Structure 1
Amino acid sequence: MNQTLILASQSPRRKELLAQLGYQFDCISSDIDETELMGESASHYVNRLALAKAQHIAKNQPDTTIVLGSDTTVVYQNTILGKPETLAESINMLTMLSNNTHHVLTSVAAVKGSKSNVIEVITDVTFKALTEQEMINYWHTNEPQDKAGSYGIQGIGGQFVTHINGSYSAVVGLPLYETTQLLAEFGLPSPIAYLNDSAVQRKKVEKQ
């Protein structure tokens, strides 16, 4: 039975990462309330949102459809850093991260009919010391406005990072290894698993 895959997001970063793995999929934006609950931990927050995004789309899909939801948040000293709305908020967040190590939590949820599962990946990211002028200039690039923690590691903000311990793709928005493992659990193995030896040999010949 053919299965279809839906990414419950319109994030260009997540679309690019999932496409990088070779899957064929559709994208449907999942519009849910992302407000933190009182006393909610960062881990519970990202897991809850990833699952909620997937469930929101899956409820209108047939049982043969796998829906993938994901959420990423930046945490410094147990404080969740969301998307800044003002320059002042951006400076406040980047000041926390400056010359310090923070955690980036990314959760990926898969839902297919009544089955669901969530995985979480935690990556440590260390920043160089930032000047206030750098923070101001960075804000005016318009990159921080829609990024958790007020920076994008795959963009201009990548120059602030001195060290990363964990999954780079998870910080961008979708952990490649863990996503592949999760989809295989739901009966959708990596596309390269479908290649037989003769197909692989043909590719080798074509490249020669």
Structure 2
Amino acid sequence: MLRGLRGVLKEGRDRFAREIPDRLPTPASVAARALLHGVDQMAHDIDRLAVNISHGLRSTSPTKDDAGRPRAHPLADAFMGALAAARRQRALPDAAMPDEAVVRTAFAVACGPDGPFEPDGAASLTLTLLAGGEGGDAADRGRAVVIFGAALSLLASCDGETSASILRSAVDLSAALSDDILGACKSDDGAALADLYRKYRAHV
């Protein structure tokens, strides 16, 4: 239900943004853009509500598995799936991506054992997975597009189940933002990365 509500908001917001603000005189245009910002914030609040509900339903589950190891983050599988699909979309070889164990560990560190997946955590995860990249700028750019796109698709999803259309849109947007993403990663600027995630999660 929350995903459907967010979809309606996004569709109406995108249509309004395309057709209205630039046609209005300056005072009305400013008000229209403020309204757009409010809709973006509402979509973000719906995302947070869905995540909080999801985590509330899981809160009674144990924090460790039967072997005494820390339980995997509930969204780790969703991120792994999004990462694999994004890699295929960009035709990036599997060897170019971090090992699965590395990804899962980084995800758990960025979000905690059961914490929400938020822009700050996504930024921390991105920096960790892109650290020490080898293969030159082209390889770094490919990894950055895939990792940022996968994380952005998860942020844009209400329930952690990223649809194919959300993922495609997120990866395409990530490719368009690749200069900004690489710049933030090379300067180890987690705040700049988090700002990118916050700004564009409502545009997927």
TM-score computed with the length of structure 1 as normaliser? 0.31
The structure with the greater share of residues assigned to helix is: 2
User: Which structure features the higher share of strand residues?
Assistant: 1
- If asked which structure has higher relative contact order (CA below 8 Å, sep 6+), I would say 2
